[in-house]
């Protein structure tokens, strides 16, 4: 069964547009997470950024307390955030690159160039019983490096696939890159998640990628929820994942 992890960052983005710096406000990302769980989502993803532009510490603490599925904490390999994760003990950590000027995470980790620090952080998290995923481009060198780091998971960055989806030739090229990366990761003993730019239109093509465990989807699902509500948006997304054979 292909699992759905719902990224609730964009719910917090809307709240922060009006209530930044205040101890509460609407919409509440934790309430949204609980509604997604009730609709059948298999997990909740939240990115605690260093600049706290959307998700706040209090949100993640409440998520850890309230949700009953699986909390995936996206985070940079930054000392403050690593220390927070070690206290929080999420169900899994996904290490991602982070740049202050970006609107959202725009690329994968350069694991090849950061092998030693990523291995050190992975070991600290593993020693605390927290599984680790690395958010990487579907590149052979990055997949191999992820295995060297010792992470249990990778999350394939599907941004290029989504960006080029309207061009049939480019779509096929990016799909083949994802297929090759998933096969390589599986052969190396890594479990494979995927995310970034996935939506109700391109998921059918992504089903060709083997060995997928979970898809993490945020923007498209929250956008759809504006018109049909979160429950319906999650239900529709789950229907698109049904029947995946891996």
- Quick one: CA dihedral 53, 117, 62, 237, positive or negative? positive
The Cβ of residue 41 has, within 10 Å, a number of other Cβ atoms equal to 27
Which residue among 42, 47, 54, 157 is the active-site one? 47
Cα distances from 49 to residues 17, 27, 56, 109, in angstroms, run 16, 19, 8, 15
Which residue among 16, 37, 74, 98 is the active-site one? 74
Residue 42 gets which letter from DSSP? Answer: S
- Tell me, yes or no, if 211 is annotated catalytic: no
Is residue 118 within 8 Å of residue 147, measured between CB atoms?
A: no
Phi, psi of 41 (to 5 degrees): -60, 145
Which residue among 10, 42, 54, 196 is the active-site one? 196
Give the span between the Cα atoms of 219 and 10, in whole angstroms: 7
Opening angle at CA 103, ends 3 and 195, nearest 5: 15
SS3 167: coil
- Tell me, yes or no, if 186 is annotated catalytic: no
- Tell me, yes or no, if 196 is annotated catalytic: yes
Kindly list the catalytic residues. Answer: 47, 74, 196
């Amino acid at each position: 069964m292909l699992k759905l992890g719902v990224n609730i960052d964009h719910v917090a983005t809307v709240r922060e547009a009006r209530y930044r710096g205040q101890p509460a406000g609407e919409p509440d990302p934790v309430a949204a997470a609980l509604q997604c769980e009730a609709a059948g989502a298999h997990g909740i993803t939240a990115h605690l950024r260093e600049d706290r532009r959307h998700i706040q510490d209090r949100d993640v603490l409440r998520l850890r307390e309230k949700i009953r599925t699986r909390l995936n904490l996206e985070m940079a390999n930054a000392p403050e955030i690593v220390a927070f994760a070690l206290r929080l003990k999420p169900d899994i950590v996904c290490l991602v690159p982070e740049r202050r000027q970006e609107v959202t995470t725009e690329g994968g980790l350069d694991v090849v160039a950061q092998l030693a620090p990523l291995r050190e952080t992975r070991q600290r998290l593993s020693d605390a019983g927290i599984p680790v995923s690395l958010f990487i481009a579907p590149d052979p060198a990055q997949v191999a490096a992820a295995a060297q780091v010792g992470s249990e998971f990778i999350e394939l960055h599907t941004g290029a696939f989504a960006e080029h989806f309207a061009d049939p030739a480019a779509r096929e090229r990016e799909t083949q890159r994802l297929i090759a990366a998933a096969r390589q990761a599986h052969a190396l003993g890594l479990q494979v998640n995927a995310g970034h730019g996935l939506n109700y239109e391109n998921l059918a093509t992504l089903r060709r990628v083997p060995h997928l465990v979970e898809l993490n989807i945020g923007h498209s699902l929250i956008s759809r929820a504006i018109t049909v509500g979160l429950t319906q948006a999650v239900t529709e997304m789950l229907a698109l994942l049904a029947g995946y054979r891996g």
